[in-house]
Amino acid sequence: MEYIADCAGIEAVALGSDFDGIDCTLEMENYGGLVHLGELIADRFGTDNAEKICCQNAIRVFRDVMK
């Protein structure tokens, strides 16, 4: 995230998940771990940027693509 934010800006960073359909061991077993991840992102990037990373950037891209 830091590398992408440094190169392309915070607006280029977004979260995605694929908990349905993958078969491997992850640091997070399920969607419930995203709350903690969001807190860590807020600690590192600030609350406003965490909102962008966790949802606003992806929503913006979906809206732009669906125009």
- Please state, in angstroms and rounded to a whole number, the distance separating the CA atoms of residues 15 and 12: 10
CA distance 54 to 22: 21
**pLDDT score at 20:** 67
Model pLDDT for residues 26-60, shown as the tens digit of each residue: 677 777 778 888 999 999 999 999 999 999 999 99
Alpha-carbon dihedral sign for residues 45, 1, 64, 19: negative
Q: Note the residue count of the chain.
A: 67
